[in-house]
């Protein structure tokens, strides 16, 4: 290591450092940063904006239309890359920065790496208060960017140019660590962005980051093996960690060798192909009847790479067998030990390999596999019944069936919020690992289109299909224009149920009146007739409104020949959801009410609470 230095601004050092970080994928060394999404303003255009211009050939900068949307796209890129690569997003100070906070929370919940680089106020405070500065009457160190602290795995405010050296080292450790992984926020004071410093040349040496695969503690491994060998009705819950560990093939081999049925979370769906005989499908609140039947009877639950959130566990009322034991195979000890689980802290792939070796020729009882196969056959029949077309106003399930028939399981399906995640979790026939891209940890309305763009940037050779409701479309749609501008084609299907149909159904299920969810039930003088197809066309997309699932299938085939983003809109029924499968979800109902329907719902709620596993 030499002591030579190079004089750069802090922004130039940051950009140069990013170009020197590498990883290895399929034997090829590639940049670990896939690019930077940027909306420039007075807090970042002169400093970091100029630095990005200087490295544009090595580190592409993408112009977006909404700061939250561009951060969603960056997050989707990382998720579609199984966290092996990631992106950065930079904004001005003030509203540009705080627009990214929702995305930071999304990445924090879902354990997804993203580097957020919001501009900040002047470190020297000479021109205070600057435009868009949030002032605290009692704390001179506070800025709007402090709201990133609780939703960042690592937060730092750069008030001196040399501080970027330890800050970036720590940032890369967090972004690439399987246990700590999540959003990093480096808040860049705008005067410091332009300040120069003599940086060590060694700071810019190339570094290759490869996944860390921690091995389990021997005592924990022995306890897990003993639990599995004693099991008569074991099941596996496959979470997102299976995909991030690139352990899908290992999981498949493990399930086949030891005869253990697999059920998938929303993040883990596509860990096994839909048609695999050991794949029982979705689990929990939005679970298939096959998975939930087995989960209720299971005596050992091996949760691989799952946060075990309430939708997965049926608000911890799904596992009903006396003495059921949960094995938490996870890189993060926080997740591995949830609800008194037996922790097995390790990489998913390594953990499954060692468990399989320790189990040897052990298999679950033959009658357990027979129970699983019979349950799956019944579920597939129920799923076909709800996805087949009818002449009525179509349900979400019928639209899903149309898209699946037209596109098959080879596409990458993107969704995030509303009623569609539940239906897609149950009904979408996912194929290869990563072909099902659902953001349901934070259930962020507006993620879908921006997320689709991020997936397309990560997988340019894959066909990306985005499905979303009219509510999500209204919240965020501007990255349609970005996808057109970048030449990254998305196929977008908008299901228009004229409001927030999912929450309206939940409102009804908890005894509430139809109020403020569907457009017709909200305060209004005029009901809007929103033409989503024309709106999308105005942003450069090829679009069409269709009147039936048959027309949708035909339009999807026609759209395949179109080279730019396509948007297809279909009216759907807001009240229909798939009745087969599913499980109770803990949504608190008022303890007292003047309305009999609420009181009745409260009694049902209190009865359901008795099944929770504390």
pLDDT tens track for 207-265: 999 999 999 999 999 999 999 999 999 999 999 999 999 999 999 999 999 999 999 99
pLDDT, residue 499, reads 95
Q: What is the dihedral of CA 121, 122, 124, 130, to 10 degrees?
A: -90
pLDDT band at 3 (very low <50, low <70, confident <90, very high): confident
Instruction: Return d(Cα 100, Cα 573) in angstroms, integer.
Output: 33
Alpha helices, DSSP H only, in 121-217?
Answer: 164-176, 190-193
Instruction: Return d(Cα 228, Cα 210) in angstroms, integer.
Output: 31
Burial readout 69-94 (b: 16 or more C-beta within 10 A, e: otherwise):
bbbbbbbbbbbbbbbbbbbbbbbbbb
pLDDT-above-70 percentage for the chain: 100
Burial readout 276-303 (b: 16 or more C-beta within 10 A, e: otherwise):
eebbbbbbbbbbbbbbbbbbbbbbbbbb
pLDDT, residue 613, reads 87
Two tokens, residue 366: 């033959």
In 254-337, the DSSP E strands lie at 262-264, 279-282, 300-304, 325-330
The answer to whether 55 touches 5, Cβ cutoff 8 Å, is no
pLDDT above 60: residue 53 = yes
pLDDT, residue 392, reads 81
3-class state of residue 609 by DSSP: helix
pLDDT above 80: residue 66 = yes
pLDDT above 90: residue 453 = yes
pLDDT tens track for 462-517: 999 999 999 999 999 999 999 999 999 999 999 999 999 999 999 999 999 999 99
Instruction: Return d(Cα 480, Cα 449) in angstroms, integer.
Output: 7
Mean pLDDT of the 134-152 span: 96
Alpha helices, DSSP H only, in 428-574?
Answer: 447-458, 470-475, 479-486, 501-509, 532-538, 549-559
Q: What is the dihedral of CA 556, 558, 561, 562, to 10 degrees?
A: -80
pLDDT, residue 249, reads 98
pLDDT, residue 2, reads 59
3-class state of residue 199 by DSSP: strand
pLDDT, residue 296, reads 98
Which CA distances in Å does 322 have to 94, 319, 325, 346, 370? Answer: 54, 9, 9, 28, 22
Measuring CA to CA, which residue among 264, 283, 284, 260 is closest to residue 273? 264
Domains of the chain: 5-209 (3.40.50.970), 218-378 (3.40.50.1220), 388-571 (3.40.50.970)
pLDDT tens track for 282-334: 999 999 999 999 999 999 999 999 999 999 999 999 999 999 999 999 999 99
pLDDT above 60: residue 1 = no
Sequence-ordered list of residues with C-beta below 8 angstroms from that of 513, at least 6 positions apart, any chain: 507, 595, 597
H or E stretch at 91:
strand 86-91
Mean pLDDT of the 111-132 span: 97
pLDDT above 60: residue 372 = yes
Strands 491-496, 566-571: parallel, antiparallel or unpaired by DSSP?
Answer: parallel
pLDDT tens track for 155-173: 999 999 999 999 999 999 9
The answer to whether 117 touches 90, Cβ cutoff 8 Å, is yes
Strands 28-31, 21-25: parallel, antiparallel or unpaired by DSSP?
Answer: antiparallel
pLDDT above 90: residue 19 = yes
**Residue whose tokens read 């303003």:** 41
pLDDT tens track for 404-445: 999 998 999 999 999 999 999 999 999 999 999 999 999 999
Sequence-ordered list of residues with C-beta below 8 angstroms from that of 41, at least 6 positions apart, any chain: 91, 92, 93, 94, 96, 119
The answer to whether 75 touches 129, Cβ cutoff 8 Å, is no
Instruction: For residue 129, say if its preceding peptide bond is cis, omega within 30 degrees of 0.
Output: yes
């Amino acid at each position: 290591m030499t002591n030579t230095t190079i004089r750069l601004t802090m922004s130039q050092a940051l950009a140069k450092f990013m170009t020197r970080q590498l990883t290895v994928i399929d034997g090829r060394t590639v940049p670990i940063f896939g690019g930077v999404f940027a909306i420039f303003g007075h807090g970042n255009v002169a400093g970091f904006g100029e630095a990005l211009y200087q490295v544009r050939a090595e580190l592409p900068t993408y112009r977006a239309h909404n700061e939250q949307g561009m951060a969603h796209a960056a997050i989707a890129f990382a998720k579609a890359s199984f966290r092996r690569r990631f992106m950065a997003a930079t904004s001005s100070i003030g509203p540009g920065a705080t627009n990214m906070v929702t995305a930071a929370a999304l990445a924090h919940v879902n354990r997804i790496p993203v580097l957020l680089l919001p501009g900040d106020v002047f470190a020297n405070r000479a021109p205070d208060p600057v435009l868009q500065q949030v002032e605290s009457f009692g704390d001179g160190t506070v800025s709007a960017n402090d709201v990133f602290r609780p939703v960042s795995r690592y937060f730092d405010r750069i008030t001196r140019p040399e501080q970027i050296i330890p800050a970036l080292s720590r940032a890369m450790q967090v972004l690439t660590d399987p246990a700590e992984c999540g959003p990093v926020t480096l808040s860049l004071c705008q005067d410091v962005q332009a300040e120069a410093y003599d940086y060590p040349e060694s700071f810019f040496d190339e570094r290759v980051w490869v996944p860390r695969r921690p091995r389990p503690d021997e005592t924990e491994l022995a306890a897990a093996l003993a639990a599995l060998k004693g099991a008569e009705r074991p099941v596996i819950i496959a979470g997102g960690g299976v995909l991030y560990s690139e352990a899908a093939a290992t999981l498949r081999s493990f399930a086949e060798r030891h005869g253990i049925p697999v059920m998938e979370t929303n993040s883990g769906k596509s860990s096994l192909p839909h048609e695999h005989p050991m794949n029982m499908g979705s689990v929990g609140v939005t679970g298939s009847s096959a998975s939930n039947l087995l989960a209720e009877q299971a005596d050992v639950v091996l949760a691989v790479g799952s946060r075990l959130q309430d939708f997965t566990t049926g608000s911890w009322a799904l596992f009903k067998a006396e003495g059921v034991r949960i094995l938490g195979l996870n890189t993060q000890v926080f997740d591995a030990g949830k609800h008194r689980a037996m922790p097995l802290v390790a990489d998913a792939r390594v953990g499954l390999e060692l468990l399989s070796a320790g189990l040897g020729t052990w298999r679950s009882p033959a009658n357990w596999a027979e129970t699983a196969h019979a349950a799956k056959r019944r579920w597939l029949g129920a799923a076909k019944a709800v996805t087949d077309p009818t002449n009525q106003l179509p349900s979400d399930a019928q639209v899903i069936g149309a898209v699946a028939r037209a596109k098959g399981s080879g596409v990458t399906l993107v969704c995030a919020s509303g009623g569609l995640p539940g239906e897609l979790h149950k009904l979408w026939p996912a194929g290869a690992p990563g072909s099902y891209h659902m953001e349901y940890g934070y259930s962020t309305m507006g993620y879908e289109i921006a997320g689709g763009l991020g997936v397309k940037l990560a997988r340019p050779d894959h066909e990306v299909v985005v499905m979303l409701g009219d509510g999500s479309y209204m919240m965020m749609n501007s990255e349609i224009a970005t996808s057109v501008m970048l030449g990254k084609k998305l196929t977008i299907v908008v299901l228009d149920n004229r409001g927030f149909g999912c929450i309206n159904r939940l409102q009804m299920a908890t005894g509430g009146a139809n109020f403020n969810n569907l457009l017709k039930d909200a305060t209004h003088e005029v009901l809007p007739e929103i033409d989503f197809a024309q709106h999308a066309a105005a942003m450069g997309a090829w679009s069409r409104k269709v009147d039936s699932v048959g027309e949708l299938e035909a339009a999807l085939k026609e759209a395949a020949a179109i080279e730019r983003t396509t948007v297809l809109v279909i009216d759907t029924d807001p009240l229909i959801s798939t009745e087969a499968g599913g499980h109770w979800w803990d949504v608190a109902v008022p303890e007292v009410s003047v309305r009999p329907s609420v009181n009745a719902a409260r009694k049902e709620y209190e009865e359901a609470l008795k099944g929770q596993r504390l």
